[in-house]
Each structure stands twice: as structure tokens, then as C-alpha cells.
């Protein structure tokens, strides 16, 4: 009925019963009084915005899009989607140069890769950090991710033939981080999947998932990336009959949830075929495949479930895989945000809030004193390593290290 189309809003906002539970779990609200909080910014504000866009509040930019409000909501309201959708729809401010730079992870990667040793050296210098702080408002206390001189894509292309020889195949959406910063994680995935008799292929061509473009006010560009990526994924899934695996929780959430819910890019035919590698591996093991673990592997591992992994509800696969490794003492860290939220924590105006949000997590990690912190998100890794000094590894890298080569 037509009437319903007009009266029922998106993102389930009419289900909100004003219970305030989300406000108790918003990490930003705890440290930044400028932020109106998920209830005000989400369903409460939406009622007003629907009447008149005048009520759009620019303080919505303080939302980190961590989705903790959605995980906490007992009524299934997509609070963070409401906030991000409002920013896309009503925010008319132009992204700053700084935000453009931070959001262009693939472009910056392409630019930096050929000069990786130089770039890595320069971004570590105090003077560079001071200049970036003064001119771009990128906080000088932040460490920058290092760039790798060889991309993961070029490595995998050189091994395409041996990969094609495996009886079963998957496609891998590696994301910018694996391609430009940490090809080692991609090679670890290849090692684990090969041990299960599965070869790894690239997508025809992948672009940055676009998560940083969405949060930095460049949703047009994000939509172009989304359309491109879904086409590429569709070719792999429908033409080549492959499952697409991933190692980054935020890329995965973006492709599966943000594309249709925020950007309006339909992924219904391929969504179920895009899986975190941890889930794919767990399911293969459950169906009878086996991994041979080293007997001399002994590690105390504390697992931090990234916010976006919590939203997808798939942390359990990473947990179960790590618990399978003999010699692992596994500790589940309390559910908490590390404070980085992608590009959010890099911005000068957010630095203090970012570190304050992560403080309880950092304290718990120090108290647990593990050999490794495990985490499926690259920006959490940067934040936790910078703030605690502990080494953070993706569960896939931990598996790769623990199996016999």
C-alpha cells in the first residue's frame, strides 16, 4: 500500500521506544559532550529532520559509526545507519583536504608504494608530524601505518599459476591495508587456505571498499566504489562460482551492510557469498577439513573483537579458530571500542577523545599481559599497538603461524 511507503521510515526508526540503552554504550558520548548521543542524533533527531531538514545537527560528524548503539538496541533500530544516512542526505559542508587525503586510502597507497622506504621514514619524523598537524590538522601524536614497497596484488599475480592448481578456489577481497601496508597478512591467508586445499584468486579489479569515504562526507565517490566492487564480486560469484573471502571486518561490514543500507547499492544476489575468512575456514573445518598445528606453539592470546565484527556477530568464528590451536591460552577482552574508528582518531580534533575512549581497553590489555593481541581490524591494530606497545595480529596470521608449514 502506498500509504505505508510514506509512513514507515527506513532503518527501523519507528521501533525506538526511547529506552535510552544505546546512550549507555556510545563510546563518544562518554568523552565528548558536543556529541548529542545516539538517541538524539538517531531516532529522536530523525523525527525532526523528517519535518524540516533545518533540524540537521552538524555535531553528527562526531559519530564514529562504530555501531555499538545498534548492537545494544533491544528493538533492532539501526541507530548508526540513521545518523550516517542523515549526514549523507543533509550535510552540505565540503570535505576538507585533510579528510580527502585520509579517506583516499587506495590513492595514497598507489602514490606511496614506489617510495615506501622514503615515505615510511618521512612520516616517522617529528618535523613531518608537526607540519601535518599544523597544516592538515592530522594529530602529531599519531603513528602512521607503514607502506610496503611491493603490493599484495603483484605478489599474488606472480603466484597465480600455483594457486590455480588447487582443487578448490576462492576470491579474496584484500582491501587497501593488505595491498599497500601489510601484504604479509594476505600471504598468511594464502598459506592457511592452501593448507586446506584451497587456492586464492584476485577479484578482476577491486577498489577501496569506501568506508572512509562515507564517514568523511564523500558518499558519491563511495557509491562509485561500491558499484564497481559489487560488479567485480558478482563476476567472481556468478561467473566463476567463487566465495569471496576477506580479512578486514570493516571492509566486510561495508560491502555487506553499508552498500545497500547507506549507499543504495543492491548486493542481495552476492551478499551471502562475501564472508570473513575466519568464518569460511571454520565452516570448512566443521565439514571435515583439517589443519595440522605445530606442537611447539605456545601463546597467550587476548582477543579484541572489533566494533564492526561485533555488529556482524562473527567474532565467534575468530574465537573458535584460535581456541582450536593447541598451546593457546585464550582470553576474550571486554567488549569495548579502541577509539580509532578508521580515520576518526587521526584527526587533531578527535585525538584526545579517541585515546580516552580506548583507555579502558588499553588498561585491560596491560593487566592481562598477553603475548599477542588478536584483532580482525587494521585500524584497531594501529591504535592498540601505538597505545599499549603490544603486538596485534589478525587471527589469520596467528593461524598461519600456528600451522605446520
Q: What is the DSSP letter of 9?
A: P
Phi, psi (deg, nearest 5) at residue 299: -145, 145
* Size of the chain, expressed as the number of residues it contains: 405
C-beta closer to other proteins: residue 75 or 261: 75
Distance, in Å, from the CA atom of 63 to the CA atom of 221, rounded to the nearest integer, reads 20
Please report how close the Cβ of residue 53 comes to other proteins at its closest, in angstroms: 20
C-beta closer to other proteins: residue 130 or 332: 332
Q: What is the dihedral of CA 28, 29, 30, 34, to 10 degrees?
A: 90
C-beta closer to other proteins: residue 35 or 346: 35
Site for other proteins in 320-379 (CB under 8 A): 320, 332, 334-335
β-bridge partners, 301: 330, 372
C-beta closer to other proteins: residue 69 or 386: 69
Q: Are 273 and 243 in contact (CB under 8 A)?
A: yes
3-state secondary structure of 393: strand
Of the candidates 27, 36, 183, 210, which one interacts with other proteins according to CB under 8 A?
36
β-bridge partners, 274: 244
Distance, in Å, from the CA atom of 272 to the CA atom of 290, rounded to the nearest integer, reads 24
Counting residues that bind other proteins (by CB under 8 A) gives 38
- First and final C-alpha spacing in the chain: 60
Q: Are 337 and 32 in contact (CB under 8 A)?
A: no
Candidate segments 74-82, 83-91, 108-116, 154-162, binder of other proteins by CB under 8 A: 74-82
Binding mask 173-212 for other proteins (x = CB under 8 A): ----------------------------------------
Candidate segments 117-125, 150-158, 162-170, 310-318, binder of other proteins by CB under 8 A: 310-318
C-beta closer to other proteins: residue 102 or 274: 274
**Residue 71 in the binding site for other proteins (CB under 8 A):** yes
Candidate segments 34-42, 95-103, 215-223, 292-300, binder of other proteins by CB under 8 A: 34-42
Distance, in Å, from the CA atom of 189 to the CA atom of 278, rounded to the nearest integer, reads 10
* Pairing verdict, β 328-332 and 274-276: unpaired
Closest to 334 (Cα-Cα) out of 372, 356, 364, 358: 364
Across 219-352, the runs of DSSP E, i.e. the strands, are 243-246, 274-276, 299-303, 328-332
Of the candidates 81, 153, 188, 310, which one interacts with other proteins according to CB under 8 A?
310
Of the candidates 60, 63, 73, 138, which one interacts with other proteins according to CB under 8 A?
73
**Residue 286 in the binding site for other proteins (CB under 8 A):** yes
Candidate segments 70-78, 122-130, 230-238, 382-390, binder of other proteins by CB under 8 A: 70-78
Please report how close the Cβ of residue 282 comes to other proteins at its closest, in angstroms: 8
Candidate segments 64-72, 93-101, 343-351, 394-402, binder of other proteins by CB under 8 A: 64-72
- Distance set, CA 242 to CA 168, 209, 225, 274, 396 (Å): 9, 19, 21, 10, 20
Binding mask 14-33 for other proteins (x = CB under 8 A): ---x-xxx-xxx---xx--x
Closest to 155 (Cα-Cα) out of 203, 202, 108: 202
Applying CB under 8 A, the residues found at the interface with other proteins are 17, 19-21, 23-25, 29-30, 33-37, 40, 70-76, 272, 279, 282-283, 286, 310-314, 316, 319-320, 332, 334-335
Amino acid at each position: 500500500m502506498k500509504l505505508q511507503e510514506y509512513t514507515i521510515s527506513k532503518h527501523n526508526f519507528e521501533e525506538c521506544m526511547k529506552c535510552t540503552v544505546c546512550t549507555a554504550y556510545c563510546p563518544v558520548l562518554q568523552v565528548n559532550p558536543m556529541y548529542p548521543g545516539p538517541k538524539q542524533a538517531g531516532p529522536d533527531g530523525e523525527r525532526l529532520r523528517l519535518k524540516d531538514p533545518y533540524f540537521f545537527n552538524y555535531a553528527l560528524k562526531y559519530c564514529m559509526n562504530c555501531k555499538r548503539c545498534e548492537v545494544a538496541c533491544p528493538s533492532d533500530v539501526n541507530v548508526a545507519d540513521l545518523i550516517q544516512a542523515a549526514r549523507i542526505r543533509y550535510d552540505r559542508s565540503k570535505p576538507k583536504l585533510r579528510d580527502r587525503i585520509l579517506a583516499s586510502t587506495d590513492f595514497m597507497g598507489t602514490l606511496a608504494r614506489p617510495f615506501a622506504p622514503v615515505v615510511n621514514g618521512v612520516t616517522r619524523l617529528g618535523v613531518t608530524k608537526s607540519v601535518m598537524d599544523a597544516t592538515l590538522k592530522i594529530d602529531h601524536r599519531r603513528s602512521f601505518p607503514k607502506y610496503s614497497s611491493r603490493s599484495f596484488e603483484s605478489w599474488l599475480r606472480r603466484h597465480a599459476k600455483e594457486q590455480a592448481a588447487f582443487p578448490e578456489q576462492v576470491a579474496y577481497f584484500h582491501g587497501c591495508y593488505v595491498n599497500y601496508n601489510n601484504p604479509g597478512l594476505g600471504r598468511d591467508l594464502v598459506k592457511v587456505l592452501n593448507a586446506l586445499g584451497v587456492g586464492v584468486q584476485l577479484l578482476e579489479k577491486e577498489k577501496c571498499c569506501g568506508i572512509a569515504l562515507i564517514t568523511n562526507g564523500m558518499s558519491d565517490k563511495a557509491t562509485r566504489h561500491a558499484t564497481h566492487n559489487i560488479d567485480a564480486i558478482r563476476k567472481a560469484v556468478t561467473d566463476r562460482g567463487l566465495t569471496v573471502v576477506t580479512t578486514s571486518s570493516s571492509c566486510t561490514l561495508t560491502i555487506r551492510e553499508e552498500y545497500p543500507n547507506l549507499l543504495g547499492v543492491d548486493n542481495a544476489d552476492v551478499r551471502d557469498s562475501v564472508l570473513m575468512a575466519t568464518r569460511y575456514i571454520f565452516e570448512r573445518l566443521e565439514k571435515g577439513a583439517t589443519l595440522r598445528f605445530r606442537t611447539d606453539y605456545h601463546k597467550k592470546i587476548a582477543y579484541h573483537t572489533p566494533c564492526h565484527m561485533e555488529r556482524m556477530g562473527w567474532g565467534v568464528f575468530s574465537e573458535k579458530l584460535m581456541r582450536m590451536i593447541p598451546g593457546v591460552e585464550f582470553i576474550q577482552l571486554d567488549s569495548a571500542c579502541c577509539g580509532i574508528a578508521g580515520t576518526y582518531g587521526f584527526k587533531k580534533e578527535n585525538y584526545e577523545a579517541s585515546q580516552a575512549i580506548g583507555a579502558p581497553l588499553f588498561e585491560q590489555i596491560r593487566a592481562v599481559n598477553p603475548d599477542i593481541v588478536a584483532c580482525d581490524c587494521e585500524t584497531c591494530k594501529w591504535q592498540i599497538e601505538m597505545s599499549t606497545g603490544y603486538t596485534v595480529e589478525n587471527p589469520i596470521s596467528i593461524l598461519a603461524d600456528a600451522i605446520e608449514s
